Structure 1
Amino acid sequence: MGRCCKCNGRLLCMCLLPCMMTGHLLIYITVSIFVTISYAPPKITIHYVAPGISANTSAMASHPQGPFWNLRLEDGALWNQLQHVWDRRYNPILRGNASRTPDEDSEDDSVDSELCPSCDVAFDLSGVPEQMKAFVRSMHYRRYPLLIDQPDACSSNSSSGSRSAPEVPPLTLLMAIKSQVGNFENRQAIRETWGRSGAIPGEVLRRGGLVHRVFLLGRQDSSTGPHPDLKNLLELENHKYGDILQWDFRDTFFNLTLKDLLFWQWLRRRCPAATFVFKGDDDVFVRTDALLDFLNRRWDEHNLLRAYTNQSQAALDLIVGDVIYNAAPNREPSTKYFVPDSFYKGGYPPYAGGGGVVYSGSLALRLARVSRRVRLFPIDDVFLGMCLHRLGLSPSHHPGFMTFDLPEADRWNTCAYKQVLLVHRRTPKEVLTLWKQLQSLPGGC
């Protein structure tokens, strides 16, 4: 009897053991789940968060918007490959102090941007228009002799403007106008109208500013056919007005980028104290008095901000124009803007459209330096956008820059120009007529 009970007890223990183990396992799993759910990580005190733009909040940025230096190579595109070499060479993270270019802060502009043997990348020129072929052959050259210089262009006694304006205006505006040797009429119309130099009053703010003027020229392009020799006429024009800058390169559409590049270098030597710079074409019309009012307001705002933040040395990074976003290369071979896929891949950065743009003098000096790290591009407006991109800046859009002209119905409605700072595509005769009409705007405008 006793032996039978002992056997039954062992059997019962063996039967209950799996149940007990299963029960313990269930309890362990339940406790683990509860601990995991109820666990809260320790709070970490955040001492500083950089301001910026984020998807979650408009006040803070959780991460940078994108890399400053592009280290991704676009295969098969000449410009991208050449720029890729420089982006890696001048990346401070990869190179440390060695990333600084020898000429970055130098006043000697005779030093070319560094070239390298690996930059000689193969590029198929077959089927490419002649202007692109010519650009590719010369795109490494950045040093051209200055044939006509204006060392005193920004001196206060080099301008003869309105005598009724203040003797010492608080603001200086340098107008750099892209022209060609044969465009005598365009230059003269500008001199007599919106491009007058001297102390110019504003439209509303009478203090206005001190305006200087230079025309940016290359030499006549002999490849487009025989041209009359206008050298003597140009010398007479320059002797009378003293406002011609001419470099020894062919004045072609794709070489307009050189005018930006060489002008910035000239500005750094001859006119570094200019408050603002207007760069435009010689077929635009500018309401200079209204532009001076706009710039005076921006300058006053900047000075107030500097005083409020106690940053007396803070520079104004201003660039304003008719901004074009999300543009892409024109792949139509028949257009003058054609850029083949074998030369450049990708979209364009934001840039101010052709015709005219205004930027601060301090930004112009920064553009002179950063342009040494950007490969030349055949479209000057896009090249300026590329230089701004490497400075971490974007141009600001202003609706008063009408680079694509006014609606047809408003072209000769003088009241329609009340909100305009610049309008594109005007002949010398139209510039003179429009200027005369705007001098006596009707009071009802």
Structure 2
Amino acid sequence: MASVALAGCGKSNDAAKPVAAAGAVEKPTLKLGFIKLTDMAPLAIAKEKGFFQEEGLNVTLEPQANWKVLLDGVAGGTLDGAHMLAGQPIAAAAGIGAKAKLIAPLSLDLNGNAITVSNKVWTAIAAKLPKGPDGKVAHPISAAALKGMPLKFGMVFPFSPHNYELRYWLAAGGIQPGFYLPGDLAGTTGAQMQISVTPPPQMPSTLEAGTIDGYSVGEPWNQAAVKKKIGVPVITDAEIFPDNPEKVFGMTEDFAKKNPKTVQALLRALIKAQQWLDAEGGKNRAEAVKILAKSQYVGADPEVIAASMTGKFTFAPGDAREAPGFNIFFDKFAGYPYYSDAVWFLTQMRRWGQIPTDKTDQWYADTAKAVYKPDLYLAAAKSLVDQGVIPAAAVPETDGYKAPQGGFIDGVTYDGKQPNAYLAKFTIGLKAGQTVTPAGVK
């Protein structure tokens, strides 16, 4: 993690003083939702380090039972905003998710997920996996090792990065993960692996019970399997898709229109929290682990949270590997909501049939712009630059699209400005003109 300077950040909650004038925000008392995952960290840090308070906000953070409950809370107005799966507001904009206009003015993090398999599955594949010079299994591990095994995997939500990362990994290994269609909301049509939904905190217990053979989830629930000695993480999402987009801070479009000053205050507080999390190569991560371990946040063993959040990732007892970018919150412009990130999610929705018919490249661009709002992010970030809180170099100069991205596990290059050309590169997945029927693809 790159070193960044902090100015006026990192105060304790008791010492923080509101810097926003009384009445400067339309709605000073707010309720924000989250799921008990490590990547809700910007919300917890903004609360605990006084960044919300500095912006004149009194924020209650409320854990939610699962992603659907959280989504319903935001869409229905019982939550003012939330730590959300990037795919949730994007699917809503595509007309296949929640019947609400949701926006994402800030990306919460990059990377942060992994895929874990049971000890039984690991024992079956470990001996045939390539080894590195140190005698340990070489990474990244290809899903091809699972071919011919009728396995059941858990993931957290149909429109989640976890679902698309799992499917991407399986397909890269030559395994068909299945298609969605109106009568198959589980996405099992033509599948060689069964994939179902399990709430993140329940993943380890569901694996231990034998209901699933593996899962794709965020931390600390992969490390929990290592700690309990019930499973082995086989690949991180950074090994599948380097610096992939993950969670976003989401809200309804209506809330943002009615409360523009409140939204700016929220974004400034969260950007300060993101900077604090990545400051000086991660010097604050140990403190962040202690905060996240509190029962009102993630509520997991500090050792388990630290196993993926302090520069290493533990794949098995005695096999902790360097992973300095596993959780990125501020560096690499992690907070900026790139249109190209939203387009990537839309391509995967189309690839697996959630978007049932072909769309033009312009449709992908327009849909991304309907939900990702970099203008709101930039207004907040530039105000922090003006105040000397974050460096100008931390704010990207961009048209909203990243340069073509490589490093994917299958060697395919992604260009967010050419989504249909990108989809045409895949061996497994829907091609132009194809649709899914109960009998298969036609």
TM-score by length of 2: 0.26
Between 1 and 2, higher relative CO (CA 8 Å, sep ≥ 6) is seen in 2
Q: Over alpha carbons, which structure has the higher Rg?
A: 1
TM-score by length of 1: 0.26
